[in-house]
Amino acid sequence: MKPIVKVSLKYGLICGVMSVFAFYVQVLTGMNPLINLNSFFIDLIIFFGFIFFANKEFKDYSNDGFLHFWQGMTVGLIIIFSVGVIFSVFSATYYLINPDVFTEYVQNATEIFENQRELLLERMTEVEFNQRLVDLKATKISDLVITDFFKKVGVGFLVTPVVAVLLRKQSK
């Protein structure tokens, strides 16, 4: 296996486990990681750390101190997709084992949506609002798992180019 893939998969696995751990800590402390914005910032910190150190390890130990932008992006992309898959498998299992969590999410999201009715009606018609409310109430576990995947990947896409630029060092 190529060093770039080996390092990335190693950090992706550890980062995936750390994301699951962070989810549990948030649940245990009473934060709802499915709705609370703090989970986004926690993910940013976790991803930044793991993508940074994975790129640093690849650069220092496998690539003679050089890191091209494309290599940094490759490391980051392998990590974020690994985390996305790991967390999606975890979340699907978690929601199936604890269906109350899923039900509570739909209830909370519906309540938040309904509480913002006035604001949302400035941006959409009554018909659109009602349709989105119906769609929200019809959310399935698979919808939430797919959303979890894209949230993790989205956070990773924010962090990866920043780290790749910070650590890149090209030959002269």
- Residue 86, CB-side half-sphere exposure with 13 Å CA sphere: 20
Q: What is the pLDDT of residues 74-133, one digit of tens each?
A: 999 999 999 999 999 999 999 999 999 899 989 999 999 999 999 988 999 999 999 999
**For residue 83, what are the contacts with CB-CB under 8 A and spacing of at least 6?**
12, 15, 16, 19, 47, 152, 156
- pTM of the model as a whole: 0.89
Angle 82-86-92 (CA atoms, 0-180°, nearest 5)?
Answer: 145
- List the chain domain ranges: 3-167
Q: What gap in Å lies between CA 78 and CA 9, rounded to an integer? A: 7
Q: What gap in Å lies between CA 18 and CA 30, rounded to an integer? A: 18
Q: What is the pLDDT of residues 3-42, one digit of tens each?
A: 999 999 999 999 999 999 999 999 999 888 888 889 999 9
